[in-house]
Structure 1
Amino acid sequence: MTPSACDKSAFSTMEVCGSLTVSLREFGCEQSLLSRPDGSASFVQGDTSVMAGVYGPAEVKVSKEIYDRATLEVLVQPKVGLPSVRERSQEQCVRETCEASLLLTLHPRSSLTLILQVLHDDGSLLSCCLNAACMALMDAGLPMSCLFCGVTCAISTDGQIITDPTAAQEKESRALMTFAIDSAKHSVLMSSTKGSFSVHEVSGLMTGKKECAPFQTNKTVNAKPKRPDVTNRLH
């Protein structure tokens, strides 16, 4: 097990543009935790934790084959029970983000599978899934145009902006937003919003989104040799 260099102290705080106070829970990740996937990683944000496994490029079914790029499938597995509408929505958000950063045209007529296992959910789950996905894609050595990270913000009933909210803070908030941030251009690859909010509040979040990122890098990730033990699924 090789710990990633993105561990951080609990509840670090910074000031963004003099108006938005950013407070992040303790976070960290480890890569290459599993032997069967091509790449794997766990990511922890406070008490929220997700395990990710990447398989491929591998042979794809003819019905799912795309002639000019790889097919990407994302599966989110809840801690208990079967996937619901919530997990399907999270899968779409993660898939759109990964498709925007991966160089899928380098592997036409093949398949990539990303499995995200929720270990514990104490808020900011979608951003934790995004961060775990990025770390697993890096570990798999898949070619990417940029890295990305997930940032979740909540807006309380009195208008206070809370970064990396807990489950209790999410429940009491009137709006919840998650962004996937491009590490190269610091642009938004994906956004997911819930609740009511004003244009001014969104503008404030967009100003501070980069500072909320758990990790930032401008390097392009190059492929590494494929490992042989990749035929089995993540359990």
Structure 2
Amino acid sequence: MTTTKTKRYVREDGRLLDTLREQTSVLNTITRSTSSCEWHSDETKVVCSIQGPRELQFSSLSQSKEDGERLVVESYCKLLPSKNDDEDDGSSFDDPLKEEKEKERTTEQFVKSCAKAAIELEKNASFGLIVSVQELKNDGSFLSCALNAVGLALILSGVETKGWMCSSTACLMEMSSGKGEGETPTFALALDPTREEEMKAKATMTCAFLINEETEDKTILLGTKMRGKMTETEVFECVALCRDAATSVCTYFDRVLTLREREFEERYRITDEKVEKWKKMMESIAEETKTKAV
């Protein structure tokens, strides 16, 4: 078995192996949360909600969990009911409900561990923060989409972090079966796989990174989650590919936040036109009040 680096291979959706799908986001879609982000990676859609940091007064964070030295972080995930796919996804569960609960639990634990590694826990001691993730649609690379939604929502919440948390997913695709005489199977790493590509892949890995250009280690690996088997070389190549993709996601974060800041500046900027409008409005109110008084 060999691993190829064929980057010019065109996938079924028209992308190259090292190309991300279109990444978009909608900010603060949930009004009752501190911040929220709906993240779309083409047809994969997920929404994240952040509540806190605040005092531990809600039932999900009991007083027994209070930590006088660190921020308490809890994570909750709700997945859509899985469909009965013909492909084998490597699951060892016979009960679909039990399998769904286990997927939710493992997703919650991974999101929680990555969020705790990214947040300055000591600067919000005795407070709690809840990270909630809701799957809207899964067309592959769901976990990386969820982590990107969490990362952007954390920035919007104002909680102090060590950097920006970004994530990406890659899979090991079979390029040739090697069934011919003297041939060996060849595989290639594909970035941001679709659901169909994930089901056919030999292995899939999701990597979470902490990116901060002002630190000595600009990119830190927070955690990885893998399904299937890879060689040591393939793992390192996969992490490098995901790191480059996460850097692109970080650039997208910067662009979204810059546009948001410009919109706020434009909305609340005091101009001569606005001053004249306010002046006329106040004169109108004063004249109306004087008329009623007479």
TM-score under structure 2 normalisation? 0.65
Match of 1:24 among 20, 33, 44: 20
Hey, what does 1:182 align to over in structure 2? 210
Q: Structure 2: give runs of 5+ residues left out of the alignment.
A: 1-12, 57-61, 83-96, 175-185, 213-217, 258-294
Question: By how many angstroms is 1:194 displaced?
Answer: 1.2
Match of 2:170 among 153, 170, 189: 153
CA displacement, residues 31-87 of structure 1 (integer Å, 9 cap, x when unaligned): 122210001111011110101110011222221111201110010111348751011
**Structure number, greater radius of gyration:** 2
Q: Give yes or no for contact 1:11–1:23 (8 Å, CA) kept in 2.
A: no
Hey, what does 1:116 align to over in structure 2? 133
Match of 1:212 among 245, 252, 256: 245
Match of 1:137 among 154, 173, 180: 154
Q: Give yes or no for contact 1:11–1:26 (8 Å, CA) kept in 2.
A: no
Kindly, what percent of the aligned residue pairs are identical? Answer: 27
Q: 1:12 to 1:169 in 2, by over 3 A?
A: closer
Identify the structure with bigger relative contact order (alpha carbons < 8 Å, sequence gap 6+).
1
Hey, what does 2:40 align to over in structure 1? 44
Instruction: Please state which structure has a larger fraction of its residues in helix.
Output: 2
Determine helix, strand or coil for the equivalent of 1:194.
strand
CA displacement, residues 118-175 of structure 1 (integer Å, 9 cap, x when unaligned): 0001110100010000111111111111001111011023411111001110000110
Q: Structure 1: give runs of 5+ residues left out of the alignment.
A: 1-9, 14-20, 222-235
Distance 2:122 2:210 in 1: 19
Hey, what does 1:168 align to over in structure 2? 196
What pairs up with 1:47-62 in 2 under 5 angstroms? 47-60=43-56, 61-62=62-63
Distance 2:71 2:156 in 1: 18
Q: How many residues align?
A: 204
Hey, what does 2:230 align to over in structure 1? 197
Moved over 3 A (4+): 10-13, 80-83
Deviates most, 72-81 or 135-144 = 72-81
Distance 1:51 1:104 in 2: 24
Determine helix, strand or coil for the equivalent of 1:22.
coil
Determine helix, strand or coil for the equivalent of 2:151.
helix
- How large is the RMSD of aligned CA atoms in angstroms? 2.1
TM-score under structure 1 normalisation? 0.81
Q: Which amino acid aligns with 1:43?
A: W
Hey, what does 1:231 align to over in structure 2? none
Hey, what does 1:227 align to over in structure 2? none
